[in-house]
A and B are shown apart, each in its own frame.
Chain A
């Protein structure tokens, strides 16, 4: 039963070309940005320009220094750009995983088979997760391959840690999009909910560094659990991993319940 995973395999097969292209694009993107580091490092005037920005903007951009390896990777890649790229993938895949098939009218035929709805939901969530993991591998490959040549003097484990925590955040938001879309039967509702939360929580997370009252809501932003422990300089955070993984599981649980109770659109 568990061994077959027919839905997961079929979903991955259906989208394998697109996933391969995403993998290549993310790997090249990450490697490309890492490769530019030597030219930035040799230009300290960038730091003084960056230092003139307000602390809030600095926080939103991901840190204080632009020319240190961790400062460069944070500001250029991990604080916004790369998670944004991965979120486009994760939220899109999550929202279309169930609701997309329902809107395209292919879900009936899939569910006419002897599959429990909860099983279908979980297998589709696994396919979304495998997609995100593939892009995490692409990110790790890109940044680790350029670590030596670009002189990014950071421990390997920290590079992996930031990629994994980023991936878990994106997975949680993609699975959130799947849950909302599957509960409503509409792809756009899932995308709007997840992307809206992502954007608002990103702003709140950035502002919370300087606007004190916002520090209370900081734990409710997933960005806090991705970047708050500064994985590029400190490596994996156990608490961070647990929270992000917990949110992923909770999203699948909530989405499954909602999807099992609902009438499917014709």
Chain B
């Protein structure tokens, strides 16, 4: 992706090996300013390793990654000055209050103002005066989000940001992330659930066994992905005819009969299919939400 000067993250041949297993191998990946790139993959695919390399918690075995033009190893302080981070396994000392936790993990961000912290906390409904030890898992995650989202940053690195959040808060989180992206912040987040990121991300990179298997725009993936559909003719005697009518259409597959419905799978545009069945009396027609995982694993 020739993003040039606009790239917030530029990884080139980035590898990290830990003895036998895990790690990443030869990762080339860019994240542009203003985009939300989701790293997707099974546990152990290398998502966290990639993120921790950006922040210089670990050093590459080979290759390099630049963050906002700064080398992750040699200019790590400059990288972290412009980057905020939410760890995947968030642990915050339990004896302190939320407010003290925010102070402990943001004191070196000198331009962070108290009202920015309050604004985010209010938006995600978090009471910062409570002791961390008394917070539920979801509320601890919110505290992590306050620490990552309150400071101004050019890159957000969020490892499994929605874990532990209820659906309502996942939506609020999505809005916050999209707002930051609209302001030009680059956002790199990880998830092992595809359906979770498709609402938020603009691009997705699938990691498999430490390598980038696919990188693509969400829209293109959605286009490619198979949706499962069902058609119920008014007249059950039309079943076989409907099935035959759609069977030969491009993009349609797995046509079958099930009691009084025709089942099928399709990708891409549905116009041809609709026109083809329009001459039959159709009692019901439904298409399931696209399973983006299928597009990757197909």
Q: Which A residues fall within an 8 A CB radius of B?
A: 4, 6-7, 9-10, 13-14, 104-106, 108-116, 263-264, 266
Inter-chain contact A109/B147, CB cutoff 8 Å: yes
Residues on A with C-beta less than 8 A from B55 are 108, 111-112
Given contacts A108-B57, A266-B48, A266-B52, A113 and B89 within 8 Å (CB-CB): no
Interface set, chain B 101-116, CB cutoff 8 A to A? 103-109
Inter-chain contact A104/B105, CB cutoff 8 Å: no
16 contacts between A and B (CB under 8 A): A14-B95, A14-B96, A14-B104, A104-B93, A105-B91, A106-B92, A109-B85, A109-B91, A109-B92, A109-B144, A113-B105, A114-B78, A114-B80, A114-B108, A114-B109, A266-B57
A108 to B76, CA, bound (A): 14
Given contacts A108-B85, A109-B147, A266-B48, A115 and B93 within 8 Å (CB-CB): no
Inter-chain contact A106/B77, CB cutoff 8 Å: no
Given contacts A112-B85, A113-B107, A113-B109, A263 and B57 within 8 Å (CB-CB): yes
A266 to B18, CA, bound (A): 12
Inter-chain contact B77/A115, CB cutoff 8 Å: yes
Is there a chain A Cβ closer than 8 Å to B171's Cβ?
no
Is there a chain A Cβ closer than 8 Å to B90's Cβ?
yes
Inter-chain contact A108/B87, CB cutoff 8 Å: yes
Residues on B with C-beta less than 8 A from A109 are 85, 87, 90-92, 105, 144, 147
A97 to B57, CA, bound (A): 17
User: Closest CB-CB distance, A227 to chain B, in whole Å?
Assistant: 37
A266 to B81, CA, bound (A): 21
A13 to B52, CA, bound (A): 28
Minimal Cβ-Cβ distance residue in A for B80 = A114
Inter-chain contact B89/A266, CB cutoff 8 Å: yes
Given contacts A6-B108, A14-B104, A113 and B80 within 8 Å (CB-CB): yes
Is the contact region of chain A dominated by helix, strand, or loop, or is it mixed? loop
Greatest chain A CB density within 10 A among B76, B103, B108 is at: B108
A38 to B71, CA, bound (A): 68
A13 to B103, CA, bound (A): 11
Is there a chain A Cβ closer than 8 Å to B59's Cβ?
yes
Inter-chain contact B85/A114, CB cutoff 8 Å: no
Minimal Cβ-Cβ distance residue in A for B79 = A114
Residues on A with C-beta less than 8 A from B42 are none
User: Closest CB-CB distance, A196 to chain B, in whole Å?
Assistant: 28
Is there a chain A Cβ closer than 8 Å to B100's Cβ?
yes
Contact with A along B268-298 (1 / 0, CB 8 A): 0000000000000000000000000000000
Greatest chain B CB density within 10 A among A106, A109, A263 is at: A109
Minimal Cβ-Cβ distance residue in A for B107 = A6
Inter-chain contact B93/A14, CB cutoff 8 Å: yes
Given contacts A111-B57, A112-B55, A264-B57, A106 and B85 within 8 Å (CB-CB): no
Inter-chain contact B59/A110, CB cutoff 8 Å: no
Inter-chain contact A112/B103, CB cutoff 8 Å: no
Residues on A with C-beta less than 8 A from B93 are 14, 104, 106
* Residue of A106, A108, A263 touching B59 (CB-CB under 8 A): A263
Is there a chain A Cβ closer than 8 Å to B58's Cβ?
yes
Minimal Cβ-Cβ distance residue in B for A6 = B107
User: Closest CB-CB distance, A115 to chain B, in whole Å?
Assistant: 5
Greatest chain A CB density within 10 A among B48, B52, B89, B105 is at: B105
Is there a chain A Cβ closer than 8 Å to B141's Cβ?
no
A41 to B269, CA, bound (A): 101
Minimal Cβ-Cβ distance residue in A for B59 = A263
Given contacts A109-B90, A112-B85, A4 and B80 within 8 Å (CB-CB): no
Minimal Cβ-Cβ distance residue in B for A263 = B58
Contact with A along B140-164 (1 / 0, CB 8 A): 0000100100000000000000000
A113 to B150, CA, bound (A): 13
Given contacts A263-B58, A264-B57, A266-B48, A110 and B105 within 8 Å (CB-CB): yes
Inter-chain contact A264/B58, CB cutoff 8 Å: yes
Inter-chain contact B90/A112, CB cutoff 8 Å: no
